[in-house]
A and B are shown apart, each in its own frame.
Chain A
Amino acid sequence: MLRMARSLPEEVLEHVFSFIHSDKDRNAISMVCKSWYEIERWCRRRIFVGNCYAVNPSMVIRRFPEVRSVELKGKPHFADFNLVPDGWGGYVYPWIAAMANAYPWLEEISLKRMVVTDETLELIAKSFKNFKVLVLSSCEGFSTDGLAAIAANCRNLRQLDLRESEVDDPSGHWLSHFPDSFTSLVSLNISCLGSEVNFSALEHLVGRCPNLRTLRLNRAVPLDRLANILRRAPQLVELGAGTYSAELRPDVFSSIAGAFSGCKELKSLSGFWDVVPGYLPAIYPICSSLTSLNLSYATIQSPDLVKLVSQCQSLQRLWVLDYIEDIGLEALAAFCKDLQELRVFPSEPFALEPNVSLTEQGLVSVSEGCLKLHSVLYFCRQMTNDALVTIARNCPKMTRFRLCIIEPRTSDYITLQPLDDGFGAIVEHCKDLRRLSLSGLLTDRVFEYIGTHAKKLEMLSVAFAGDSDLGLHHVLYGCENLRKLEIRDCPFGDKALLANAAKLETMRSLWMSSCSVSFGACKLLGQKMPRLNIEVIDERGPPDSRPESCPVEKLYIYRTLAGPRFDMPGFVWTMDEDSALRFS
């Protein structure tokens, strides 16, 4: 084998490698032998860093000198629910600064849950001459000034996607910074922006970019403007409408309806804030070709939803509010046989009593009718083990299953038992399950089922569950492919963590908040595991001002080659080899 490797010229190997795109495969190639490692690292064009603190920019640049596309993720997932205090970290500027020097030909930057400043955006805008793609997913820290810099300087920009980011946007004038000569836009997502953009600038931009395929507008774009925009971009494949509300007038209606029927390529719809149901028929003509429908902001009731979904026979993805109710999900199951992904969000998450008739039955109906269903996010107020067992049997190909029963520790409402058996059935039958979120009343038993059966599980989210350390131990010991584990408000403590310390180096990260892990255990882990960063996040003050046995508020553990980070705020402490000395 070695002789073969040496006999093939570099150019040939490089050519072969150019067909390999997945990171896993590329990593495998680089491990074959030293010369393959060398060849591979010079021709790798895309890198993905799942935790920006797992490695530092200079390490990446040293190994991969010719990168064109970078994807970075920052804060842990629970930051989405305000569990990570402001200022924790995830600053991208050091990465951009390093890459500005090392990768002048960088084309794509994708960031998730990172802090991006206007300064960062300005640096991107002026450093990369062939910059094409900027995706900022759930990021924060920048304003429309930074966007103006991107618009003004990135001559070859194809994609600007601000999905779900928090942008300080005092004005919409940044859009006018795209020069008149700029025509390369393919995808624009500004749905998260709060204030109005300049409508005529928007219309002009849309009109002069013939390759525009994706346009997600923000809530501030009124319905009467939508028709103008659609008429300028009939080639759109993905559209996010703004506010879908106006006084019901036949002329406005026919204008909208006409604009929509001109868009023969539309496959995906989203947006639809403040929907006036009378305008929904305007989209009926294009429903049959829709594959993706996001109505999770649309406060329309189940009769209107039923009328709509029953015309979407090609639907593969539906995001919707629980206004759809069981009856609407039955219609979904009957008409949308290609459905693969369903997300049902709560319309009144803090109400004590249910405001809609959405129960476990809705999800059961969908599992019966939609045989391709593999990805579920479902918020509801009641569940039974029987329902979960039925769903598990109907959907053995499930890959992502996230159930959120709104009241913590809710039992099976018929038998009053914990939901261990139901979730146990999910992991037993769904052998390809990669992501699971638990809720309801759960004992250590559910974790034993998970450890025994969920062999492909990569991400597990746990809240208000379990009885003892045995629960955590089952998961850490049994789930061979576990990469991310996030836990809140569970009675898990030191034992399971310390007994499975080595496991933590095989995972990307572990988050535990409001659990029972003591400061002493954190210090011990920090001493013994130098390739882990053990971050104690505690807003009550220094952990050594309390007894060692006292539980820490929040704990974030991740593997890293970069050592402790230098940008920690005052409420984060890293336990390292010296921490025993520092804290005594």
Chain B
Amino acid sequence: MEGGVVYENDLNLKATELRLGLPGTERNEEQPVSCTRNNKRPLPETRDQDGGTKAKYDAPHADPDTPHAPKAQIVGWPPIRSYRKNSLQQPKQTEAESAGMYVKVSMDGAPYLRKIDLKVYKGYPELLKALENMFKFTIGEYSEREGYKGSEYAPTYEDKDGDWMLVGDVPWDMFMSSCKRMRVMKGSEARGLGCGA
């Protein structure tokens, strides 16, 4: 930009002097201020009003190529009024809202499939409990690193792109909107998935 102000080395310090106190007060020591330097929130992720989870922020310049960049909806972004969002009437969404979100669930070794309504469950714990009851088996402990430990079974789902994913990796809302059907894998296949393959 022509005639731009050089900012890096030539700040007019007197005029723009930043202190922690108010102008006119004399403070010689800066109070230590922790957990304010970057955008990371000190609290764990919480559900926001709209039902989505807050997106994670790393450094201010987020790398768009990160494979795990979560595309969870951010509250109030993009800045569009609710009545506008509602009037755009995306038909798929309204169908899901009124009819429930039924997905087929297959279990390795079971003779027939079942169907469950994902909307009935508030989160993964409830869903997994329901699966355990439905098919009379136990799912192991979930960890991000190792999947489901301590059991022969691994709950998986097919997402919109046709890929088979381990249930529990993505935020609940994202799972709800991308899950097409589920399969409870058993045996060696299950163990393969569980080892972060």
Residues of chain A having any CB pair with chain B under 8 Å: 78, 80-83, 85, 138, 164, 166, 192, 219, 273, 296-297, 299, 345-350, 352, 379, 404, 406-409, 421, 424-425, 428, 437, 441, 444-445, 448-449, 452, 461, 463, 466-467, 469-470, 473, 477, 488-489, 491, 493-496, 498-499, 501-502, 514, 516-518, 520, 524, 528, 540, 547, 549-551
Given A82-B50, A467-B60, A498-B22; A296-B35 close (CB under 8 Å): no
The answer for the CA separation of A219 and B88 in the assembled complex, in Å, is: 13
What are 10 A-B interface contacts by the 8 Å CB criterion?
A78-B76, A379-B80, A409-B62, A445-B7, A449-B1, A489-B57, A496-B18, A516-B37, A520-B31, A528-B22
Q: Which of B13-69 contact A (CB under 8 A)?
A: 15-23, 31-39, 41-43, 46, 49-50, 57, 60-62, 64
Distance in angstroms from B164 CB to nearest chain A CB is 21
Closest to B87 in A: A297
Closest to B177 in A: A350
Besides the contacts A81-B81, A449-B4, A499-B18, what 17 more A-B pairs have beta carbons closer than 8 Å?
A80-B81, A82-B76, A192-B83, A299-B88, A444-B7, A448-B7, A449-B1, A473-B16, A494-B20, A494-B33, A498-B20, A498-B21, A502-B23, A516-B36, A549-B34, A550-B42, A551-B42
The answer for the CA separation of A501 and B18 in the assembled complex, in Å, is: 12
Closest to B21 in A: A498
Given A499-B17, A540-B43; A82-B78 close (CB under 8 Å): no
The answer for the CA separation of A370 and B133 in the assembled complex, in Å, is: 66
Query: Does B82 lie within 8 Å of A82, measured CB to CB?
Result: yes
Query: Does A491 lie within 8 Å of B38, measured CB to CB?
Result: yes
The answer for the CA separation of A466 and B37 in the assembled complex, in Å, is: 12
Query: Does A516 lie within 8 Å of B80, measured CB to CB?
Result: no
Residues on the B chain within 8 Å of A501, using CB: 22-23
Given A81-B80, A516-B37, A549-B35; A421-B87 close (CB under 8 Å): no
B71 within 8 Å of A (CB atoms):
yes
Residues of chain B having any CB pair with chain A under 8 Å: 1, 4-5, 7, 15-23, 31-39, 41-43, 46, 49-50, 57, 60-62, 64, 71, 73-85, 87-88, 90
Distance in angstroms from B170 CB to nearest chain A CB is 14
Residues on the B chain within 8 Å of A85, using CB: 49
The answer for the CA separation of A488 and B83 in the assembled complex, in Å, is: 22
The answer for the CA separation of A399 and B15 in the assembled complex, in Å, is: 29
Residues on the A chain within 8 Å of B75, using CB: 81-83
Given A85-B49, A164-B81, A499-B18; A550-B1 close (CB under 8 Å): no
Closest to B88 in A: A347
> Which 8 residue pairs of A and B lie closest in terms of their CB atoms, listed nearest first?
A81-B76, A516-B36, A493-B36, A495-B18, A83-B76, A81-B79, A421-B1, A349-B78
Query: Does B19 lie within 8 Å of A495, measured CB to CB?
Result: yes
Residues on the A chain within 8 Å of B36, using CB: 493-494, 516-518, 549, 551
The answer for the CA separation of A172 and B76 in the assembled complex, in Å, is: 31
The answer for the CA separation of A204 and B36 in the assembled complex, in Å, is: 62
Contact of A493 among B17, B19, B21, B33 (CB under 8 A): B33
The answer for the CA separation of A349 and B80 in the assembled complex, in Å, is: 8
Query: Does A404 lie within 8 Å of B78, measured CB to CB?
Result: yes
Residues on the A chain within 8 Å of B42, using CB: 550-551
The answer for the CA separation of A445 and B16 in the assembled complex, in Å, is: 15
Distance in angstroms from B97 CB to nearest chain A CB is 15
Distance in angstroms from B65 CB to nearest chain A CB is 12
Distance in angstroms from B159 CB to nearest chain A CB is 13
Query: Does B77 lie within 8 Å of A463, measured CB to CB?
Result: yes
Residues on the A chain within 8 Å of B15, using CB: 477
Distance in angstroms from A569 CB to nearest chain B CB is 14
Query: Does A404 lie within 8 Å of B79, measured CB to CB?
Result: yes
Residues on the B chain within 8 Å of A428, using CB: 1
The answer for the CA separation of A493 and B39 in the assembled complex, in Å, is: 10
Contact of B35 among A273, A444, A550 (CB under 8 A): A550
Query: Does A489 lie within 8 Å of B20, measured CB to CB?
Result: no
Distance in angstroms from A52 CB to nearest chain B CB is 21
Most buried by A among B22, B42, B61: B22
Most buried by B among A138, A352, A444, A494: A494
